[in-house]
Every structure is written in structure tokens, then in C-alpha cells.
Chains A and B, each alone.
Chain A
């Protein structure tokens, strides 16, 4: 992680101010949770993201976006994490936008994303653990197009999405990267069953059942049988982005906890005076800072298209998850009884970490990738 440029600092300040004002737990997460809204996020706020240009952060300039990279996306995501702001930014403006980059489908969907009118989702996993190669959902050629059959789960914002990017198998066997094809499936496609699932953190993910869902040939994103190319672009951006969001979650929980140590009195003194808690808080702070550096380094390598980027994205996602886990666990524990209540915000951080930690691979998945990429 090198130091941020002046432009990046400006963007960071802008995102920080915007989300600290508009994206707060009270205004967004608790509000939408309370209304039982099916999306779990506010479309008004998504529009505001668009007005600030943020929905086009990674979309190329000649297509109307800001043409920036993973680092700038990370700066926004860190603030989203810190405020637990429910928003389709990560799935739509980061992961899906990268999948669509340079494709005809990009031309089709970028204007809606830029306008804050389109929400996109990625449908990859079919089991309870992330396994992007283990795609069994079949796309069979029929007439001028394809017919899709199979099931997906943990499709974040799946029920709210106008566009669902579906990883399907057109060749090869389950577990192979070759023979995957990525399809752009539109909302309301015939014979597509959508079950909207409320997750632990009040965000929504869908389970999808494809029963002979017919799509045109031009629904293919990129090339037939080469879905791995757009998919791995999306996964790299999405994982790096979720690492940054996790860093925000970790920093938010950690700061809240340190503040509590300075406010709560027991035994006639502030609990932050106890060395046992001081050392744990200091260890936690170190871990959060290291996770931040790892996440930024991964983003920077992605932006430079460096060969080590793939490895570092796995490292960043794993490290950010571990640090966020430490932050929320220590956070709840150090808050004591109040930390167990729904009224207090610290528990919301714990729930958000659980979801982000699983998204696009838990830390053990990424640890396994580090070992395999390094040949051990």
C-alpha cells in the first residue's frame, strides 16, 4: 500500500462525509430492517450514490463512468463497512460492473447502473460453501439461444436485481473452469423462481431455481465456454471490495469498542484502565491496521494488473475476515451485557461480518487458494 494520491484522498473524504451523514445505521440499516422492505436497502440512497458518480466508479470514462479502480472502490467500501450501510454498491458497481467490462452486455447495462436505476446480482454458488468452479447449472443450446436448468443460492440482492449474472455450464464437468459461460438474465425471466431470503444481518440474498429458463444468444457475457474470464474479473474485484468493506466493519467495531472502554465505569474506574483490556484492544488495533494494509495492497496490485494480484486478493479477503472476526468478537465481549442487546449497534457489526466473511469465499477457502497458488 503506497500512500493515497490527492485525488484519492478527496474521494475518500467525499465518501466518508456522504456515508457518515446519509448512510448511518439509524437512517439506513435500522430503518429498512424496521420497515420489512424486501430489498433491505433504500433506492433513494442508491440514487444518491449515482448522483455523486460513485455507481460508475470502475466503469470506463468513455462509457460515462469515473474510470477509476479497485483502490477507489475500496475507499468507498470501507466507509460502507464502517456505517453498515445496506447498498448494492459492492455487487452492482464493483463486481457486476467488472464482469460486464468490455462486453456488449456492458453497453446494455452501464447506463442504468450509472443512473442508480439498475441493481445487479451475481449467481455463482450452488452449495453452502463458495465454489465458483463447482457449477452444475446447465445451459443447453436451443434454437437461437440457451435454456437454463439448475439452482443457485446466496445470490446477494437477487430478488431486487434487474440483472442477474448467472454462471452456467455449457461444457466440461463440475469443478472445471473451462466450459463455464456467464449469462445476463433479466428480472422476471419466465420460469425463474426467486425466493427472497432474509439473512442474519437483515440483508437479502435469493435462492434461485431455473426451470427451463430460455435466454437469447446475446445474453452471453463475453464468450461461450469462457465465462471464467468475466467471472474471475468479477470475483477479484468483489473479493478485494469485500475485504475493504470488512476492514470498514472491523474499524467501526474496534473504534466503538475503544470508545466504550473510555466511557464505561466498573470498580470505581474506567474499564479502559485495566491492562488486560488495554492489551487486547492494542492487539486488535494492530490486526485491523494490518488488514487495512493488505486490502489496499491487493487493490493497488489489481489496479496495476500485477501478477501477484491474484494471491494478494486471497490474502486480503482472508486477513480482513480474520481481523473483522476478532473485532466483532472482542467488541461484543468488551461491551458485556449491553453488547448482547439488539438495541446496541455493536451486535450489528458481528452479523454483518458473518455475511461478508462468507461472501465469495470464507477465509479458509482463501487460505486454501494461497496454499495451492504457492504450490504447497
Chain B
């Protein structure tokens, strides 16, 4: 314990010296957050510096092994780092699907060569990854995917289409589920990595009800992929996919309340005249603070290896439903002001656009209904679920 307290002291001093003041605030928007990658333009020197100093210490991924660009910290040490970062309000130096989704899957299923090749680039924020899972005909029933991947001897040949690919137009590489066999539904899927600059890859942003385009359609037209870029065994990609989805759900459930933000909605809204709305907001704040306690507990369980494998589904379900509720209340509190779609007053319709954006929370990464089904089957062990 004494060692840990010493460690806390060191971290505190280091953060004080190295975390730029501008980075001690939450990102104002998804664009204000640092996503890294070949195409990234830093929005400020502070943003660049914060990523560089944290990556240098391996603290973009504190609990990954040092050999792969991580910090090599024990669960207790990473917890202290998280606490100290939270204490000064420091933002994440890097937002990354590579960290939250692909990395854990590579650590578990990747070959040594794949780990050494891909993980350090992820840790340093040099390569931005996107996820090729859903297809027009395979949403909730993901295993029905049809993107064809043929063995052409010295390479794979990929043809097909993905949809809801987050930030595909800004990503450098994709981790992608493809069909390598039609003999079995789940048993014919492989997990493939390739460069988005490969000939035959194209993307088209999808305009959402929010007016934003965070997702793309992604097309593969005779894309050649080197043979050593399959993760796990050929036709066993579904195992990798499911494992990765758990991590995706953890991430989304964390985002549910703005990533561990325990700021009370009522405080944010200020005095609420309408007693009915005030009551609704207080009821929301109770659920939100209780959920924050659950998230903290879940993180502790996760780090101690005690979390039930289906817990991310529960967290994702509860967190996203709460986030939708939060934005309904923000809209109600703002009244007709919040309906302005393009005005300066609303910074380009921010409240309404964010409200609409949250409606995707309970769809992306597996719908609420899919999550409830997983909880019913794997935690409650209900029959035939």
C-alpha cells in the first residue's frame, strides 16, 4: 500500500507538470476530442503535446504490456492513474476504436507478430481504425453477413458492402468481418484487417436525422488483402467478433453519461421553474448517479477479472437508455430555444442535433433489445433465450 501511495504521488506530480491546462476540460464535441491517425490535424498544440507525453509513457493504454506500447501497470496502478486523471479533470489523450475495441481482441487472439505490428501504432495514435461489422442485410442478426472473402492463394479477395461504419472516411485501417465459408452461419466468418487505402475500398457518408454523418457506407470491390492479416483462425472470426463487441459495449456504456461524468443534470440546467420538470430531472439524477456508482463498480470488477462476461450488455443497455432520457430532458428544459437548427444562439442547433444523435446509442453496437436478450440468456439463464 505504501508503494501505491508513493506511486500516486509520482503520478500526481507528473500530471501536474505534463498535462496542459487546456486538456483539463472535457472535449466540447466529438471533433474537439483527439482521434489520431494519418489524416488527423491536431486542433491545438496542447492536444498534440498531451497525446505525445501520454503515449511516451504508455499511458494511452496504461494496462497493456510495455512491449506493445502500453504502460505495463497493474490493475491497482491503473486505477490510481484513472483517479488522478479524473481528479484534475484531464481528458482522454486519445479516443480510439483501436484502444477500446481492436486492441483487446488482438491481445487475446492476435499472433505475436500481429501484436508487435499493430498495437504500438494504436497506442501512439498513429493509425485510426474503423469497424466493419454491420451490412445492409445483417444488423441485429450480425452473423448473417455476406461480404465475400475468397482465398486466392497468395492473398484474400474481398467483395461486398458494410454499413454504419463509424468514421470510415477518416480511418486508416479497418477491422472487418467477412465470410470465408457459406457452410455454416457463425462458423464461416473470419476477422480480417486491412488498409483503407487499398485499391477497391470506397466510402460514402450517411446523412443522419441529426444532420451529422458519423457513419459511412463502405464498399469493397476486389480488394486484395495479404494472407497474414486474419486475426484468430479462419472461419473462427465470430469468437473474436463477440469478444470485441463486449469491449465496444463497455465503451458505449461509458459514453452513456458522458464517460463517467457524474455532473447532475439539474445542476447543469439551473433553477427549474416547472415543478413537473423539476421532479422528472430529480428522478433522472437519481438514476444517473446510481448508474455512475454501477459503472465504477463494474470498472473495478473488470480490472479485478471478476466481471460477468455479459455485464457489458447490461451496462450498455442501461447507460444508453439513460443518455436518451437526459437529452429528452435537456430539450424539454430548453423549450422552443432548443428547436433552432442553424442559429448562432444554439451553436448550429447543437442541443437538437445531440438529442437526435443519442437515439442511435441504443441501436449501435447491438440494440437495447439484443442486450436484454443477452442478459436474459447469459446472466439469468432463461430457457431458449
Contact = CB atoms under 8 A, between A and B. Distances in A.
A282 interface: yes
A283 interface: yes
A303 to B, nearest CB: 14
A376 B278 contact: yes
Interface in A250-290: 258, 261-262, 269-270, 272-273, 275, 277-279, 281-283, 285-286, 289-290
A370 interface: yes
A374 B266 contact: yes
A374 B264 contact: yes
B376 A282 contact: yes
A319 B377 CA distance: 25
Interface majority SS (helix, strand, loop, mixed), chain A: helix
Contacts of B296: 1-2, 293, 297
A322 B270 CA distance: 25
A29 interface: no
B272 to A, nearest CB: 5
A281 B382 contact: yes
Contacts of B382: 258, 261-262, 272-273, 277-278, 281
A95 interface: no
B294 A315 contact: no
A293 B307 CA distance: 14
| Most A C-beta atoms less than 10 A away, residue of B290, B291, B306 | B290
A294 interface: yes
Given A282-B372, A374-B266, A319 B282 contact: no
Contact of B314 (A272, A281, A285): A285
A204 to B, nearest CB: 30
A255 B369 CA distance: 21
Interface string B269-300: 11110000011011101110111011011101
Contacts of A289: 294, 314
Contacts of A270: 383-384
B318 interface: yes
B267 A316 contact: no
Contacts of A311: 289
B41 interface: no
Contact of A3 (B264, B304, B371, B377): B304
- From A282, A290, A322, A367, name the one whose CB has the most chain B CB atoms within 10 angstroms: A282
Interface in A326-349: none
A77 interface: no
A296 B372 contact: no
A272 B282 contact: no
A190 interface: no
Given A367-B283, A375-B267, A376-B266, A275 B380 contact: no
A322 B286 CA distance: 10
Interface in B313-361: 314, 317-318
Interface of chain B, main secondary structure = helix
Interface residues of A, number: 44
B375 interface: yes
A306 interface: no
Contact of B306 (A3, A272, A285, A374): A3
Given A3-B301, A282-B380, A319-B287, A294 B372 contact: no
Contact of B383 (A272, A296, A297): A272
Contacts of B375: 282, 285-286
Contacts of A293: 290, 293-294, 296-298
Given A371-B278, A374-B264, A376-B272, A279 B376 contact: yes
B385 interface: yes
Contacts of A285: 314, 375, 379-380
B290 A315 contact: yes
B294 A290 contact: yes
B350 to A, nearest CB: 22
A314 B271 CA distance: 20
B286 A315 contact: yes
B373 interface: yes
Contacts of B272: 376
B241 to A, nearest CB: 22
A312 B289 CA distance: 8
A315 B269 contact: no
Nearest to A255: B380
Nearest to B377: A278
Contacts of A290: 287, 290-291, 293-294, 318
Given A2-B296, A3-B301, A371-B281, 17 more contacts: A2-B297, A258-B382, A269-B383, A278-B372, A279-B373, A282-B373, A282-B376, A282-B379, A286-B375, A296-B293, A315-B285, A370-B264, A370-B282, A370-B285, A371-B285, A375-B267, A376-B270
28 contacts: A1-B293, A2-B296, A3-B301, A3-B304, A262-B382, A269-B383, A272-B385, A277-B382, A278-B372, A278-B373, A281-B382, A282-B317, A283-B317, A289-B294, A290-B291, A293-B294, A297-B297, A315-B285, A315-B286, A316-B290, A364-B279, A370-B285, A371-B278, A374-B264, A374-B285, A375-B267, A376-B266, A376-B281
**9 nearest A-B pairs in the assembled complex, by CB-CB distance:** A294-B290, A278-B376, A297-B293, A282-B375, A376-B266, A293-B294, A273-B384, A1-B297, A319-B290
